[in-house]
């Protein structure tokens, strides 16, 4: 489930500093540049200039470059590599380890397969940084990733995990289940059913097949579970693809928990089919045509929020009294919290990276509204 969203640049190559000694004026200038780059969260540029910054010993240079490359990997949302940064401080690696994807089928630390809550907190943080930097194509890509795995986030309180293949079997197998069968009463599209069979035995396969499952099948399992929890109802919006004849995957659930899950899955369906996600389909990623500006994206988000928060006649909308004061997309954290059934706020790992970078480089970074690329004089 590698989920890269990088739109510009890659991790810089190592380079060596020159032997020239900087003057006091040059040192002040480089300090100002470093502080400005931290405020912009331009980690690739900080990494590139670190060999040329004065008054840093070799160990500090190495620390700074490790922090920058760690931050770059987070911004790319390359979850399969989150556990591969031994050179960053423990508090950072521990914070992000819960969002990693296991590299092998039975790796003891299940990471995001055990819980998606840390991953969605990271999504919120990365989306805000991409917005600050004016990388709106990446903002749309993060929203798309959110949508893809939202059904698993919604099921997590019921399953006790986030669709972990090693533990999913008891919830979808058993007498009366139509999961991964050819029963015509099952509404799962035929295109999904191969993935639904795969998830039941993938933990017995090799690493290559495991990676193929994560890349191709895991999101389909998410979609299938979303359909299992979506049913025709009166007075609530249509959540999209429905299960018209529930089997024991659904009927064995406690009625109160099932009702709560169904309400939260209605919100998932509304988001998946929302105006803001439609923007990504209209923007040919990678070609530079049709990419929305901030105002257009905000307008489509407001239309999306109106749909998500409108009261229902058939039962209580979990967002009926939610506040929408967060930035950059007001209400997004409230929506994700409603789907998850717990409060979700940005993870804060990149804030810690910035603090560590400022201390390592001995600079003061201005707080407040971050500097955006489109407001900086070239």
Q: How crowded is residue 103: how many other Cβ atoms within 10 Å of its Cβ?
A: 16
Q: Are 347 and 125 in contact (CB under 8 A)?
A: yes
What's the 3-state SS for the chain? Answer: CCCCCCCCCCCCCCCCCCCCCCCHHHHHHHHHHHHHHHHHCCHHHHHHHHHHCCCCCHHHHHHHHHHHHHHHHHHCCCHHHCCCCCCCCHHHHHHHHCCCCCCCCCCCCCHHHCCCHHHHHHHHHHHHHHHHCCCHHHHHHHHHHHHHHHHHHHHHHHHCCCCCCCCCHHHHCCCCCCCCCCCCCCCCCHHHHHHHHHCCCHHHCCHHHHHHHHHHHHHHHHHHHHHHCCCCCCCCCCCCCCCCCCCHHHHCCCHHHHHHHHHHHHHHHHHHCCHHHHHHHHCCCCCCCCCCCHHHHHHHHHHHHHHHHCCCCCCCCCCCCCCCCCCCCCCHHHHHHHHHCCCCCCCCHHHHHHHHHHHHHCCCCCCCCCCCHHHCCC
User: pTM of whole model > 0.85?
Assistant: yes
The mean predicted confidence, pLDDT, of the chain is 87
Quick one: pLDDT at residue 235?
84
pLDDT in tens, 150-197: 999 999 999 999 999 999 999 999 999 999 999 999 999 998 999 999
pLDDT in tens, 99-116: 999 999 999 999 999 999
Quick one: pLDDT at residue 13?
52
- For the chain, the domains span 1-99+347-378, 100-346
Quick one: pLDDT at residue 58?
93
Low-confidence ranges of the chain (pLDDT < 70): 1-28, 81, 83-84, 281-290, 367-378
């Amino acid at each position: 489930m590698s989920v890269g969203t990088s739109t510009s640049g890659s991790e810089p190559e190592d380079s060596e500093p020159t032997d020239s000694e900087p003057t006091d004026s040059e040192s002040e200038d480089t300090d100002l540049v470093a502080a400005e780059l931290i405020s912009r969260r331009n980690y690739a540029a900080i990494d590139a200039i670190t060999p040329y910054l004065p008054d840093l010993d070799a160990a500090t240079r190495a620390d700074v470059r490790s922090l920058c490359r760690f931050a770059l990997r987070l911004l790319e949302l390359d979850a399969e590599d989150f556990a591969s940064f031994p050179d960053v401080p423990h508090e950072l690696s521990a914070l992000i380890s819960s969002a990693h994807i296991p590299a092998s089928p039975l790796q003891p630390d299940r990471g995001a397969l055990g819980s998606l809550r840390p991953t969605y907190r990271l999504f919120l943080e990365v989306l805000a940084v991409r917005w600050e930097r004016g990388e709106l194509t990446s903002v749309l890509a993060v929203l798309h990733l959110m949508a893809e795995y939202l059904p698993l986030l919604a099921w997590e309180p019921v399953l006790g995990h986030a669709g972990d293949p090693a533990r999913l079997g008891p919830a979808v197998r058993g007498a009366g289940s139509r999961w991964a069968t050819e029963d015509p009463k099952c509404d799962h599209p035929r295109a999904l059913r191969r993935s639904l069979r795969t998830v039941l035995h993938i933990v017995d396969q090799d690493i290559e097949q495991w990676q193929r499952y994560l890349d191709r099948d895991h999101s389909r399992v998410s979609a299938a579970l979303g359909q299992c929890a979506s049913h025709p109802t009166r007075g609530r919006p249509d959540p999209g693809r429905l299960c018209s004849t529930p089997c024991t995957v659904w009927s064995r659930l406690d009625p109160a928990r099932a009702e709560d899950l169904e309400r939260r899955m209605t919100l998932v369906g509304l988001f998946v089919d929302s105006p803001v996600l439609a923007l990504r389909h209209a923007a040919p990623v990678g070609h530079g045509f049709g990419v929305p500006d901030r105002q257009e994206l905000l307008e489509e988000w407001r239309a999306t929020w109106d749909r998500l928060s409108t009261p229902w006649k058939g039962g209580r909308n979990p967002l009926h009294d939610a506040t929408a004061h967060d930035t950059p997309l007001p209400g997004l954290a409230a929506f994700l919290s409603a789907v998850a059934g717990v409060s979700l706020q940005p993870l804060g790992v990149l804030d810690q990276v910035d603090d560590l970078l400022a201390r390592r480089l001995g600079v003061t970074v201005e707080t407040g509204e971050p500097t955006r690329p489109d407001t900086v004089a070239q």
